Amino acid sequence: MSFKKKIAVLGSGKGSNFVSLAKACADGTLPAEITLVISDVEDAKILDRAKEFGIPNKFINPGKYRTKLDATAETTCIKTLKDSGAQWVALAGFMRILKGDFLRAFEQKVINIHPSLLPAFPGLEAWKQACDYGVKVTGCTVHLVDHGIDTGRILAQGVVPVLEDDTSTTLHQRIQEEEHRLYPRTLARLFSNKIN
Ligand code: GAR
């Protein structure tokens, strides 16, 4: 009998956070199995990364809205995730808001990584918001997903200093390096009940 948690990953982009989770599952530092990767973007690199790891992956057409899944897509997504056996859902650059039925289907089991020290800079391109504001430190946050935008309970944060010559691109690169450390480590601590 396996005591590994079953997690699914949802992403819209290049999938570097998915890769950090998949590597941690493979080397045993994250006692979990990724059952499925879903993307709302048909040619998203995250789907290619999933194939490289031999993990089932699926594009789900999000429907007519820009910022959320339509009702059909949401139903399909929930069913596909449940059928995969996923107990937890890890968002990794998934650029749509999940609400209502989805959050009820995975109550307190949807986790997100956000590229700022929440509650500062919620929403899009948080690294650019940090650069434009002129903060001296920023970072990333792993949190539970609730009905708000980047508002759920904070599980862990990693700090990244903003350097004198940083551009939003170089800052995002360093935030991502911290994300790749923080996300697997936080899930491992969560699954072993080391986070209250
Ligand atoms: C990550 O930096 C993640 O924090 C961010 O998207 C990027 C995805 O990169 N997520 C958000 O901004 C969500 N609000 P990846 O596809 O390489 O993992």
* pLDDT tens sequence across 136-174: 999 999 999 999 999 999 999 999 999 999 999 999 999
CA of 2 to the centre of ligand 1 (A): 30
Question: In which band, very low, low, confident or very high, does the pLDDT at 73 lie, cut at 50, 70 and 90?
Answer: very high
- 3-state class of 57 per DSSP? strand
Encoded tokens for 74: 């949401």
What pLDDT, on a 0 to 100 scale, did the predictor assign at position 126? 98
Nearest Cα to Cα of residue 174 among 116, 119, 124, 134: 116
| Atom 3 of ligand 1, nearest CA residue | 93
Given this model, what pLDDT does residue 196 score? 76
Question: What is the share, in percent, of the chain residues with pLDDT greater than 70?
Answer: 99
Rounded Cα–Cα distance for residues 105 and 110 (Å): 10
Told to judge if 180 belongs to the known catalytic residues of this protein, a careful annotator would answer: no
Sheet bearing 110-114, strands edge to edge: 57-59, 32-39, 5-10, 88-91, 110-114, 137-144, 154-161
- CA pair distance 161, 139, nearest whole angstrom: 8
The whole-angstrom separation of Cα 196 and Cα 187 is 13
Nearest to 11 by CA among 71, 66, 73, 57: 57
Mean pLDDT score of the chain: 96
Residues lining ligand 1, CB < 6 A? 11, 13-17, 46, 92-93, 113-115, 126, 176, 179
Distance 132 CA to ligand 1 centre (A): 19
DSSP lists the bridge partners of residue 59 as 39
Distance 92 CA to ligand 1 centre (A): 6
- Euclidean distance between CA atoms 94 and 92, whole angstroms: 6
Q: Is the model's pLDDT at 106 over the cut of 90?
A: yes
Query: From atom 1 of ligand 1, which residue's Cα is the shortest distance away?
Result: 93
pLDDT of residue 2: 62
Distance CA 44, CA 11 (A): 8
Q: Say yes or no to pLDDT of 3 above 90.
A: no
Pocket test for ligand 1, best of 16, 49, 149 (most atoms within 8 A of CB): 16
Ligand 1 atom closest to Cα of residue 17: 18
pLDDT number for residue 50 = 98
Is it the case that residue 108 has pLDDT exceeding 60?
Answer: yes
> Other CB atoms closer than 10 Å to residue 147's CB: what's the count?
11
